[in-house]
């Protein structure tokens, strides 16, 4: 094999599995180390740079980082990355004087943002410090989007939302509440330099079955949750059926319990392996004694005397192939479940009734606007989309990332620069060696298991709608959990010309991930690895020829625990542990690059 290219960004960034998996590329290991040092405010600020809402995301993030976490491959459970983010938020000092501020004079550019959800707020967060005037139009009388209207307060307290939204609004957002935009055409005619659409995916999916229109006790999940959030709904019948097993369903079933329901069932069409809800949401619902019924496909709503009395289902049996995918299904029975209310939680869609067709914004065959995946620009120049409005419903952290990218595009658009000529990501490396037997990080492998989030007692939590269930990690929990992080950003960097092939690194490696072997094709190298390759998605590093024997050093990144012992035991310093910092450009970086370019051209002129 050819020597692996570790120059550039990709190789070392990928090694930091969590940071690679995070849509906004949050520098997870660094913030965990800051927490370990008790530097909660610094940890919070580092988070905020990329994910903007650490307090919110420390509670409800979809946490794609955790399934990616290397610790989950070495043992069974990932580091509680999300919970640690909340530790930073819970323990931070007042950070307001560390927030970026708007300059005294504006740059004269005005941006319209539709919707005050996390996507628009992120755009404003990035553009206001550069001098842009950001006007956010929000249909409701409060900002926050679905984070406010749909994520229940028992998962995300209003105070947390208020505080983190205020950080942005107080930078100088012109927030126009109760101000729905009813015509894109009209908006475009106003005096704005660019428009950002962050209006979300507001339409809950319908279930057209017999009896659907004969009662008012069938609710659409996301609308129903919104009504609960605003106090328009404050009770529900004793027996509630939730249709669907996504995250919305989990919020609906748990909300029902808080509105007085006694018997709540979540009805799933397929077996558990196919559930859309995250594991932890399922666990939390089941802890509250919600019953999840599998293999039941809705057939009809049962109405008697104009009253909803139950629902009829087909009982389905599935056949699976070797990989566990469904090969076939058949109806084997039918079943009736009595109920007083039904909540439909089977998905969400985009809807843009206020965007006129034929004004240059093109829609695809699903009636979703065509949006560029790098620039987030629509087919109409100067109109950008982000968050759920761009590519359909995702989650908060994706909406934030869209916001960052759209902010870069808006800035470039307003400056008349190419939207695609964006600053590349970078990786900085610095050695972590501090002295003899001394490295700049806590490298010991702590076999401790993942800490469990303490919850409010089951008897107490239903008394009010807004009792936050998760109590947050205690100081002891946090202190133990931070040590579980493997410091994957401390990279093993190899210099082939220094290696004397003494095998010291190979012998010491606690996970046997290093091999010196004769070079050959990928198969022959893999066949000679000391530990079989378990994960083909993880990189295999192959060095250049070693000077004594022309063999090569091979490292399987999969299980490396970044203990640094290879570098510690290497007599020649061929292995070094180097701290990598992934540099993610934001609108502010683009702006300072523009400024520097300007100065250079001016000097040259």
Partner 1 sequence: MTSIVKPRIVHHGLSRNRLGLTIRDYEGGMSTLCAGCGHDSVTAAIIQALFELAVPPHRVAKMSGIGCSSKTPAYFLGASHSFNAVHGRMPSIATGAAAANRELYLLGVSGDGDSLSIGLGQFAHAVRRNIDMLYIIENNGVYGLTKGQFSASADIGTAAKRGEVNEQPPIDPVQLTMALGGTFVARSFSGDKDQLVPLIKAGMRHEGFAMIDVLSPCVTFNDHEASTKSYQYTREHSHEVMHTDFVPPMPGIRVAYEEGEVVPITMHDGSRLLLRKVSDDYDPHSRGAAIEYIRTHQRKGEIVTGLLFVDESEPDMHGINSTTGMPLNELGFRSLCPGKRRLASLQRRYR
Ligand X SMILES: Cc1cc2nc3c(=O)[nH]c(=O)nc-3n(C[C@H](O)[C@H](O)[C@H](O)COP(=O)(O)OP(=O)(O)OC[C@H]3O[C@@H](n4cnc5c(N)ncnc54)[C@H](O)[C@@H]3O)c2cc1C
The residues binding ligand X (CB under 6 A) are 60-62, 114-119, 137-140, 145-147, 150-151, 180-181, 198-200, 202, 222, 225, 247-248, 251, 348, 354, 387-389, 393-397, 399
- Taking CB under 6 A as the rule, does residue 563 contact ligand SF4? yes
Site for partner 1 in 165-184 (CB under 8 A): none
- Taking CB under 6 A as the rule, does residue 369 contact ligand SF4? no
d(CA 399, CA 51): 10
Q: What is the DSSP string of 441-474?
A: S------PPPPPPPB--TTTTTSSTT--SB----
User: In the structure, how many helices (H) and strands (E) does the chain have?
Assistant: 22, 23
Q: Which two tokens stand for residue 474?
A: 């205690």
User: Using CB under 6 A, which of 49, 90, 501, 589 touches ligand SF4?
Assistant: 501
Kindly report the backbone phi and psi dihedral angles of residue 556, in degrees, each rounded to the nearest multiple of 5, phi listed first.
Answer: -90, 115
Q: With CB cut-offs between 5 and 8 Å by kind, which of ligand SF4, partner 1, ligand X, none does residue 394 bind?
A: ligand X
Q: With CB cut-offs between 5 and 8 Å by kind, which of ligand SF4, ligand X, partner 1, none does residue 114 bind?
A: ligand X
**Which are the contacts of 419, defined by CB distance < 8 A and separation ≥ 6?**
374, 375, 377, 409, 412, 413
244 phi-psi bin (left φ>0, alpha ψ -120 to 50, beta other): left
**Closer Cβ to ligand X, 39 or 276, answer by number:** 276
Q: Of 254, 122, 146, whose CA–CA distance to 203 is shortest? A: 146
Site for ligand SF4 in 473-492 (CB under 6 A): 492
- Taking CB under 8 A as the rule, does residue 532 contact partner 1? yes
Residue, CB closest to ligand X: 387
- Taking CB under 6 A as the rule, does residue 572 contact ligand SF4? yes
Kindly report the backbone phi and psi dihedral angles of residue 465, in degrees, each rounded to the nearest multiple of 5, phi listed first.
Answer: -70, -25
- Other beta carbons within 10 angstroms of residue 155's beta carbon come to 17
**Closer Cβ to partner 1, 5 or 437, answer by number:** 437
Buried b / exposed e over 194-204, threshold 16 CB at 10 Å, is bbbbbbbbbbb
Buried b / exposed e over 412-425, threshold 16 CB at 10 Å, is bbbeebebeebeee
Least separation in angstroms between residue 558's CB and ligand SF4 is 10
**Closer Cβ to ligand SF4, 285 or 516, answer by number:** 516
Least separation in angstroms between residue 94's CB and partner 1 is 31
- Taking CB under 8 A as the rule, does residue 565 contact partner 1? yes
Q: With CB cut-offs between 5 and 8 Å by kind, which of ligand X, ligand SF4, partner 1, none does residue 514 bind?
A: ligand SF4
Handedness of CA 589, 592, 596, 598 (dihedral sign): positive
d(CA 461, CA 473): 18
**Closer Cβ to partner 1, 122 or 487, answer by number:** 487
Contact status, residue 293 vs residue 267, Cβ threshold 8 Å:
yes
**Which are the contacts of 126, defined by CB distance < 8 A and separation ≥ 6?**
403, 404, 407, 408, 586, 587, 588
Least separation in angstroms between residue 366's CB and ligand X is 17
Number of residues that bind ligand SF4 (CB under 6 A): 28
Least separation in angstroms between residue 498's CB and ligand SF4 is 7
Stretch that binds ligand SF4, among 17-25, 207-215, 258-266, 560-568 (CB under 6 A): 560-568
Stretch that binds partner 1, among 147-155, 296-304, 362-370, 566-574 (CB under 8 A): 566-574
> Which spans of this chain sit near ligand SF4 (rule: CB under 6 A)?
492, 499-505, 508-511, 513-514, 555, 560-566, 569-572, 574-575
């Amino acid at each position: 094999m050819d020597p692996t290219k570790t120059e550039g960004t990709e190789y070392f960034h990928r090694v930091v599995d969590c940071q690679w998996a995070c849509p906004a590329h949050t520098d997870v290991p660094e913030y965990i180390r800051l927490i370990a040092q008790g530097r909660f405010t610094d940890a919070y600020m580092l988070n905020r740079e990329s994910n903007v809402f650490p307090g919110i995301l420390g509670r409800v993030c979809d946490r794609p980082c955790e399934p990616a976490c290397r610790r989950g491959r070495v043992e069974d459970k990932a580091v509680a990355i999300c919970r640690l983010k909340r530790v930073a938020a819970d323990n931070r000092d007042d950070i307001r004087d560390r927030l970026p501020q708007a300059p005294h004079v504006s740059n004269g550019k005005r941006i319209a943002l539709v919707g005050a959800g996390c996507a628009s707020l992120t755009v404003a967060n990035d553009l206001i410090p550069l001098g842009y005037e950001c006007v956010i139009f929000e249909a409701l009388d409060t900002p926050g989007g679905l984070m406010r209207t749909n994520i229940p307060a028992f998962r995300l307290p209003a105070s947390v939302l208020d505080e983190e939204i205020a950080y942005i609004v107080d930078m100088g957002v012109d927030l126009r509440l109760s101000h729905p935009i009813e015509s894109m055409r009209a908006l475009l005619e106003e005096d704005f330099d660019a428009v950002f659409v962050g209006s979300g995916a507001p339409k809950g999916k319908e279930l057209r079955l017999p009896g659907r229109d004969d009662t008012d006790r069938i609710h659409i999940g996301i609308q129903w949750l919104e009504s609960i959030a605003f106090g328009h709904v404050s009770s529900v019948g004793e027996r509630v059926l939730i249709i669907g097993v996504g995250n919305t369903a989990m919020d609906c079933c748990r909300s029902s319990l808080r509105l007085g329901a006694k018997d709540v069932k979540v009805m799933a069409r397929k077996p558990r392996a196919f559930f859309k809800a995250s594991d932890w949401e399922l666990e939390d619902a089941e802890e509250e004694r919600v019953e999840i019924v599998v293999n039941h496909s809705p057939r009809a709503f049962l109405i008697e005397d104009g009253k909803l009395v139950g629902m009829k289902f087909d009982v389905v049996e599935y056949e699976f192939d070797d990989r566990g995918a469904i090969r076939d299904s058949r109806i084997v029975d039918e079943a009736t479940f009595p109920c007083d209310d039904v909540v439909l939680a089977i998905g969400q869609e985009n809807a843009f009734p206020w965007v006129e067709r034929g004004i240059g914004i093109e829609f695809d065959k699903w009636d979703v606007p065509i949006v560029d995946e790098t620039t987030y620009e629509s087919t109409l120049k100067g109109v950008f989309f982000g968050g759920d409005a761009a590519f359909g419903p995702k989650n908060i952290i994706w909406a934030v990332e869209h916001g960052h990218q759209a902010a870069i595009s808006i800035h470039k658009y307003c400056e008349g620069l190419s939207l695609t000529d964006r600053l590349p990501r970078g990786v900085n490396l610095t050695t972590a060696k501090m002295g003899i037997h001394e490295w700049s990080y806590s490298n010991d492998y702590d076999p401790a298991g993942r800490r469990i989030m303490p919850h409010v007692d089951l008897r107490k939590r239903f008394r009010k709608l807004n009792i936050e269930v998760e109590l947050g990690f205690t100081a002891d929990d946090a202190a133990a959990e931070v040590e579980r992080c493997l410091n994957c950003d401390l990279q093993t960097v190899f210099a082939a010309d220094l290696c004397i092939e003494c095998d010291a690194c190979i012998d010491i490696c606690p996970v046997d991930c290093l091999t010196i072997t004769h070079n050959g094709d990928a198969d022959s190298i893999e066949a000679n690895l000391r530990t079989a390759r378990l994960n083909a998605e993880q990189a295999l590093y192959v060095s250049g020829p070693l000077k004594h024997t022309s063999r090569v050093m091979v490292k399987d990144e999969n299980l490396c625990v970044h203990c640094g012992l290879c570098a510690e035991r290497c007599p020649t310093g061929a292995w070094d542990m180097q701290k990598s910092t992934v540099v993610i450009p934001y609108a502010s970086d683009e702006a300072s690059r523009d400024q520097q370019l300007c100065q250079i051209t001016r000097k040259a002129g």
